[in-house]
Amino acid sequence: KPVSQPRRNIVGCRIQHGWKEGNGPVTQWKGTVLDQVPVNPSLYLIKYDGFDCVYGLELNKDERVSALEVLPDRVASSRISDAHLADTMIGKAVEHMFETEDGSKDEWRGMVLARAPIMNTWFYITYEKDPVLYMYQLLDDYKEGDLRIMPDSSKYDSPPAEREPGEVVDSLVGKQVEYAKEDGSKRTGMVIHQVEAKPSVYFIKFDDDFHIYVYDLVKTS
């Protein structure tokens, strides 16, 4: 029989909590819980209001988190305006334009990874120059001319390996990883997700960072 009461499932909920780094002041954060990571159920993926990258936090364990509260407001679900375009851009290399402070446009090459969970008009995306997980309402950007889908010839587009229907590819999800930094120190982490549209691409959560890193873990022999 279960020994402890399972906590309420907060995926899909709006939350707020305090956050304190070291001796710094407590700051207040509000966001939406997108996902609970199956290979590490204490880890949640969160989209905080006003921030474009996805954060990974062990909300109930992390000592920097205080006064965690589930808010009564529901996440508004809205219909996606162009389902065909949404499906078409998944797994594609793109150029994403951002307006800089002086009003000029800055172009970032990246890859659209998936539709985001819960916030269903948003997409997961990552960038060559900044390989962490971001989310944006890319259909709006596309319609405004700020997102270009690249012809299939970028470094991301290795042809999928031929495999029989139903054949399972060895997944690295749940594996511990070690990453050597340039200064010789090591970061440890865990592979938490495999990208369905690009099975060689994985999400990694390092122990010392709350960003989610997106790496192409092609087996190089």
Three-class secondary structure of residue 46 per DSSP: strand
* pLDDT of 77 strictly over 60: yes
- pTM of the full structure: 0.86
pLDDT, tens digit (0-9, with 9 covering 90-100), for 97-134: 998 888 888 999 999 999 999 998 999 999 999 999 99
Distance CA 119, CA 11 (A): 11
Per-residue confidence at 219, pLDDT binned at 50, 70, 90? low
pLDDT at position 169 is 60
For 163-212, the pLDDT digits (tens) are 455 545 678 999 999 988 889 899 999 999 999 999 999 999 999 999 99
- If you average pLDDT over every residue of the chain, what do you get? 88
Q: How far is CA 87 from CA 13, 188, 197, in A?
A: 26, 34, 10
Q: Residue 181 CB: number of other CB atoms within 10 A? A: 8
